[in-house]
Amino acid sequence: MIQTVRGTRDILPEDMPLWRRVEDVAREAFRRYGFSEIRTPIFEKTELFARGVGEATDIVHKEMYTFIDRARADSEGESLTLRPENTASVVRAYIQHKIFADKSPGELTRLYYIGPMFRRERPQAGRYRQFYQIGAEVMGSSDDPAIEAEVIEMLEWFLKELKITGTTLLINSVGEPASRAAYLEKLREAIKPNLDRLCADCHHRYETNALRVFDCKIESCQAVIASLPVITDSLDEASREHFGKFKAHLDARGIAYKVNPRMVRGLDYYTRTAFEIVGNDKLGAQNTLVGGGRYDGLSETIGGPPTKGFGFAFGLDRMVMSLPEDEAGRLRAADAPDVFIVFLGEAARDHAFNVARDLRAAGIAVAMEFEDRKMKKAMTAAAKSRARYALIIGDDEVASGKYGLKNLTAGEQESLTLDEVIAKLS
């Protein structure tokens, strides 16, 4: 039997109400905060991620699904990659379509996306090779830290609406790339005598971009990592001031946070503010729910005009796992038809098709089986469908134009015309 590829999975119908709920609440948050949706392709030129996300990151170095598109007779074939994240693509679209062009000075562009991402990671609970992200980007000429606080406020509303509790907001500043050189020098000096205690990937990070050592999750590297100087102590003046204002904006909104000076996020494009929201204990080892930060300069890196940017992405998979049990149960139960039609006999069956069509045209969710069954069996099927009501149609009902509407939870039954049924169920 052919099964799903390792690290990918089917999201089955019983879980879809939970996924839809997370998506619906996200769309509502984005509507309230002025974000518009954008969809970008699932695959892009490899160069976009290599330059945007950074060659030294785990994502680009180890995890991308890259392939050479079949060469035409006159070309070599192009290197393409299934997107491992979507910020680089959204910034590319922002540049390619000159979305900034019709904006007044200082006006921001707020975009959001929902879709699958692909990374060749070691699969485990909460970590997949095809996973889904919902993310948002704020781009423009302003780098006001109030933007950052407002986006985090939106996320807080979103989590509250989903009844997800016990999360922690972690923040840090990774400073300006231009003034990072002195710190990186200091960091490399501190790593060098400890290289023999670090993994092969950390050796590579040390050679290519020492900051990425902080992304290492390997247990035996943690003691060395804990002893390294942190970037937060070496911030340039402007970044320090920005970080101070960002924290003040969070305080003013009553948003609780913890500063984690070792959180540098696994992508090279971050400047200044970086943040994560760590989930509650339903998540286990893979407990980062949301990740984001500022990426001023990403546009320039991929050939666009100077642009400031701030954004985040969260894993839909992990957000669904974080929903409380009772909320998940309520969402599954609500995903049922309004009415199940029970018919008795051939003539009633033909009549029932018309009734079903009229109810559906009136916006009512109707379930009906086509097989003629005895009353008891048909009522069992109605209960199994979890419909709120059963509508009973036999020869008498066809003749009188009044149907039996049975409330399947309370048990009581009324005799109603089609219009009355529609009025009751709408």
Site residues (CB under 6 A) for ligand AMP?
85, 119, 121, 126-128, 131, 133, 266, 288-291, 313-315, 317-318
Q: What Rg do the C-alpha atoms of the chain give, in angstroms?
A: 28
Answer whether 133's CB lies under 8 Å from 301's CB.
no
Q: How far is CA 314 from CA 66, 111, 128, 199, 415, in A?
A: 23, 15, 14, 28, 50
At closest approach, how far in Å is the CB of 279 from ligand AMP?
8
At closest approach, how far in Å is the CB of 24 from ligand AMP?
19
**Residue (81 or 234) nearer to ligand AMP, CB:** 81
**Residue (92 or 351) nearer to ligand AMP, CB:** 92
**Residue (58 or 144) nearer to ligand AMP, CB:** 58
At closest approach, how far in Å is the CB of 230 from ligand AMP?
20
d(CA 192, CA 84): 31
**Residue (263 or 290) nearer to ligand AMP, CB:** 290
Answer whether 326's CB lies under 8 Å from 297's CB.
no
What would the DSSP string read from start to end of 291-323? EEEE-TTHHHHTT----EEEEEEEEHHHHHHHS
Which residues touch 37 (CB under 8 Å, ≥6 apart)? 27, 30, 111, 112, 113, 114
**Residue (145 or 266) nearer to ligand AMP, CB:** 266
**Residue (60 or 187) nearer to ligand AMP, CB:** 60
At closest approach, how far in Å is the CB of 114 from ligand AMP?
12
Query: Which residue's C-beta sits nearest to ligand AMP?
Result: 315
At closest approach, how far in Å is the CB of 206 from ligand AMP?
21
At closest approach, how far in Å is the CB of 349 from ligand AMP?
47
The angle subtended at Cα 206 by Cα 204 and Cα 211, nearest 5°, is: 115
Q: Count the residues in the chain.
A: 426
At 239, phi and psi to the nearest 5? Answer: -70, -35
